């Protein structure tokens, strides 16, 4: 009976660990003024929210975090000439426009089907 309860505890712990996967991939909070100290190698400290005050909600992201999670698109991370995407990920215009003329720049995997064309395509 004791082994049964140990298996139950291990099973519940394992299920909880699986639920944390998307949080882990999205990344922990980081400091944009010192990304090397707050993120692991091959990660970038990127903003995830735009407001009237500018960009904020900085989190560490790596290439794996831009893969779909359970079939859903991962959270967007904004980029520009200061906030660079991690290696293997491109800074591209978002598929959604803020208004008629502006598409914010976000990190996307190369060849992402939701990315707009790069070279003046349709």
- Count CB-CB contacts under 10 A for residue 75: 19
Give 45-97 pLDDT, tens digit per residue.
999 998 888 899 999 999 999 988 788 888 899 999 999 999 999 999 887 76
Which residue, among 83, 85, 86, 103, has the nearest Cα to 94 in the 3D structure?
103
pTM here is: 0.70
Which residue, among 83, 89, 95, 86, has the nearest Cα to 108 in the 3D structure?
89
């Amino acid at each position: 009976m004791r082994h049964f309860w140990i298996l139950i505890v291990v099973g519940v712990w394992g299920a909880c660990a699986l639920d944390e996967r998307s949080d882990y991939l999205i990344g922990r909070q980081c400091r944009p003024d010192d990304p090397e100290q707050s993120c692991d190698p091959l990660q970038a400290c990127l903003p995830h929210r735009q407001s009237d005050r500018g960009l904020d909600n900085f989190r560490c992201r790596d290439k794996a975090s831009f893969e779909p999670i359970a079939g859903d698109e991962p959270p967007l991370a904004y980029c520009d000439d200061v906030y660079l995407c991690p290696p293997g990920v491109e800074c591209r215009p978002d598929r959604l426009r803020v208004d008629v003329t502006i598409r914010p720049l976000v990190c996307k995997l190369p060849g992402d089907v939701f990315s707009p064309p790069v070279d003046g395509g349709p």
